[in-house]
Amino acid sequence: MMYSAYQLASNLMNPLRFKADSLFYWLHQKVPQNGFMYRHAMAVNEQLALLGFSHVRPKFGIDEIVDEFGNRISVVEEVIIRKSFCHLLHFKKVGISQQPRVLLVAPMSGHFATLLSGTVKTLLKDHDVYITDWLNIRDIPLNKGKFDFDSYVRQVIDFLEVLGPKSHLMAVCQPTVACLVATSIMSEDQHPCVPLSLILMAGPIDVRNNPTKVNDLANQKPLSWFKKKLIDTVPRQYQGGGRKVYPGFVQLNAFMSMNLKRHQESFKKLYEYRVSGDDDKAQNIHDFYEEYFAIMDLSAEFYIETIQKIFQDCDLAKGSLTFEGRIVNPKKIKKTFLLTVEGERDDICGIGQTLAAQDLCSSLPPYMKSHHLQIGVGHYGVFNGKRWETQVYPVVRNLIQSC
């Protein structure tokens, strides 16, 4: 009923939003620079147009990059492998080859992989970049089967096999656990495609360290509460009709409520920038929320297992996590360089939660393990924005180049 009620409200609001969006862009082209009333109308319509969610993946929009010498290099986006729940996407740089291959694993946490567009664009300066392009579960028919935590890890392993030996694995937020598991299993099996380096960024390896509001919320209720209150069924009008999911709109509302004042202030600034004619600053905010409000649902099996295994039971940190019936043992990692990255102001993954991977990978000698704490950034700033580009990325690049 929760999903159906949301969809009904969304369907009723969409005509108003679409009309406001059309008016905003029309006014944006016609408004005189000194026309206050026109700019006011444009700003109001922009706010109305943004007040709603999209369930369609935005475009990455990466057609070219500029290298360190100022040369413009064309980028072609190509799908390498199509799986039921995820595509392996490659950003091919025209005329460039023999650069380190990096598999960037995007989080499945209510947003599309395009949330990492800035991460991809920066990585492309020096690397051959691939990304997990997760599909919206509400668009996947029931006959494609279920998707759980093991499915996620298996997907990472399968994609590493596609990239081949001597590739690098990078995970942002939630998939840090799955990527550490995949590397552990592949190392134990002496798999030829075990990654040369493993880069874990702002992820919940051990949430007992400096718990955040996210961690507290996951432990305030029993697992049965999450199943009863947060899991719903996809309406029959969609291809995945009948699937049990954790709806993306519930996830995003939860995240926004944690920082409601900050989001309110952002919308206020957006309005003020538009009215005053500071369109560049306004467009930066507009683009962020256009991406942020593009949401996807999560498989109920995957969501519930994540809550239980990672946030409530801390299975990986305690040495009791299993993958396809096997105990996961990070001590088996002996040939993969490890880098952990955290943000000083991260209110989703507290300081020390990602660093915990260093102790779990106890068989790695000290020279193969490194950690970077980025001062002055929150969760998003670890992998996007100026500090990511100028301070975090050089650390990542140097590690990959040293392998």
pLDDT tens-digit map of 21-70: 888 888 877 766 567 787 888 889 989 988 888 888 999 999 999 987 88
Residues 213 and 349 in one domain: yes
Handedness of CA 140, 142, 148, 150 (dihedral sign): negative
Torsion over CA: 324, 301, 223, 213 (sign): positive
pTM for the predicted model, two decimal places: 0.92
- CATH for 122: 3.40.50.1820
Please report the pLDDT score of residue 37 as a whole number: 80
pLDDT single digits (tens) 347-366:
999 999 999 999 999 999 99
312 and 384 belong to one structural domain: yes
First to last CA, the chain: 52
| Confidence check: pLDDT of 217 > 90 | no
pLDDT at 209: 97
Q: Are 196 and 403 in contact (CB under 8 A)?
A: yes
**What's residue 276's pLDDT?**
87
Is residue 6 very low, low, confident or very high in pLDDT (cuts 50, 70, 90)? confident
10 Å Cβ neighbour count for 138? 22
pLDDT tens digits along 175-204: 999 999 999 999 999 999 999 999 999 999
Residues 100-111 have a mean pLDDT of 94
Q: Are residues 116 and 206 in the same domain?
A: yes
Residue-wise DSSP of 241-254: TT-EEE-HHHHHHH
Mark whether 178 and 74 lie in a shared domain: yes
Q: How many percent of the chain have pLDDT more than 90?
A: 74
Residue 357 and residue 385 share a domain: yes
Task: Kindly state the average pLDDT of the residues 358-382.
Answer: 97
Residue 284 sits in the same domain as residue 178 = no
Considering the domain architecture, whether residues 101 and 213 belong to the same structural domain is answered as yes
The string of pLDDT tens digits covering residues 256-301 is 887 789 899 999 999 999 888 888 999 999 988 888 899 999 999 9
User: Which stretches of 68-123 are DSSP H helices?
Assistant: 117-123
Q: How do 326-327 and 168-172 pair as beta strands?
A: unpaired
pLDDT of residue 387: 97
Its domain, for residue 45, covers 2-52+263-292
Residues 84 and 99 in one domain: yes
Counting the structural domains of the chain, the total is 2
Domain match, 376 and 268 both: no
